[in-house]
Amino acid sequence: MPFLGWLAFLTFAPPLFLGPFFGVVVDRVNIRRAAISTQSLFLAGALALLLIEFSGQTGRASLSVITLFIGVVSSAQHPTRMAITPRLAPASQLSSVVLLLSLNFNIARVIGPAIGGGIIAGYGVWVALIFTPLAFLPFVLILCPLRPRANKPKPKASMRADFAEGLAYVRHSRLILTATLVSGLFAFVGRGVLEILPSLADGRFERGAAGLGTLTAAAGAGALLAALVQIFMRGPVPGRLPWVSVISAITGPLLAAYLGGANQWQVAVFLVGLLGFAGTLVGVGMQAAIQMQVEDHLRGRVMSLWTMVSMGATAVGAAALGGLAGSIGLPRALLLSGISSAGATIILLLWRRWAQFRESR
């Protein structure tokens, strides 16, 4: 359990420290080349993991190094991904593009592990590791012919000045600041729980790899259902937080708290599915709300800050859940963290309402 939390921390902690740096870089460089570079590095990491498994050198040290490498590349890839896609379509179609971008990522982050878990359960780790680098190759090829819009020319400034500009933009936009903090509070528990599913499947219910596949499949099914709901709902509205995302941000941590007390396997699978559902609604809604507010030349920096909070909170949450579970048990750890996160989210939203009310007087 503690080592699993450590690996999750290594995956999601780098955006917490390196994300803002890469956000500034993304707003300065050729965005297409940056996207090709990050996908190529992911491909290299997948090949390295395959070679380590083939050589029989798989251990805690090697897994930690590969996981940290993936986390660092992710720090650059996230702002790149979120900055390049809106530049491929005209401004009149921005709302649709932002929605599809958010849906694509939030579905993939749940469906991918579900497919991987199914392959591992049915065919073994080897097959999953062979498929992983093959999955990255099409992305590199697809990116080559794309021609995204370039940033508007602006006076040269230092890296520190560019970062300060992005930070000030987020701080002075109440909607972006609230959406970022809500995403972080949900990620701490809602995403953190999804990162320690192996301990839930094997440690608590003793279901092994097959049980992990079932749980990840349930989370994936919930994400797919949320995507369908999101598609048929009204698109993102500039200046507003989607109400379904706000509700999901509060109920998601409460579901995690209830999961801690679940003693039946079927109930646990159902709750994990609901967490996948809520996580997709929060991720899609909050990211879309922010993207609708940001201009192209600031996307890398603003979205890197959102990623820093979201991914960093997932890392800290996974590590905290792992540590708490080792000291007070998984049920109590989920109960304590879930209730705390939901309460903090409610307080944050009430603060935003109160600030809006004071300004309108």
Domains of the chain: 2-143+159-360 (1.20.1250.20)
Taking residues 158-164, report their average pLDDT. Answer: 88
- pLDDT score for 91: 67
Rounded Cα distance, 132 and 58, in Å: 17
Q: Are 331 and 205 in contact (CB under 8 A)?
A: no
Q: Are 184 and 312 in contact (CB under 8 A)?
A: yes
- pLDDT score for 10: 82
**DSSP symbol at 351:** H
CA torsion through residues 190, 194, 195, 197, sign: positive
Rounded Cα distance, 29 and 57, in Å: 38
Rounded Cα distance, 295 and 173, in Å: 13
Between residues 241 and 227, the one the model is more confident about? 241
Alpha-helical regions (H) of the chain: 2-12, 14-26, 31-55, 60-84, 94-123, 125-143, 159-172, 174-186, 192-195, 197-198, 208-232, 243-260, 265-291, 299-328, 330-360
Write down the pTM of the prediction. Answer: 0.77
- pLDDT score for 346: 93
pLDDT single digits (tens) 193-221? 877 777 777 767 777 767 777 887 788 78
Structure tokens at 360: 């309108």
Lowest-pLDDT choice from 37-46, 66-75, 109-118, 120-129: 109-118
Q: Are 80 and 26 in contact (CB under 8 A)?
A: yes
Lowest-pLDDT choice from 5-9, 244-248, 330-334: 5-9
Rounded Cα distance, 297 and 93, in Å: 18
* Euclidean distance between the first and the last CA atom of the chain, given in angstroms as a whole number: 52
Rounded Cα distance, 206 and 178, in Å: 40
For 348, what's the count of Cα atoms within 13 Å in the CB-facing half-sphere? 22
Rounded Cα distance, 59 and 176, in Å: 41
- pLDDT score for 351: 87
Nearest CA-CA partner of 222 in 269, 184, 264, 188: 269
Rounded Cα distance, 287 and 45, in Å: 27
> Which residues lie below 8 Å from residue 206, measured CB to CB, with a gap of 6+?
none
pLDDT at 304 > cutoff 60: yes
- pLDDT score for 345: 93
Nearest CA-CA partner of 183 in 174, 195, 191: 191
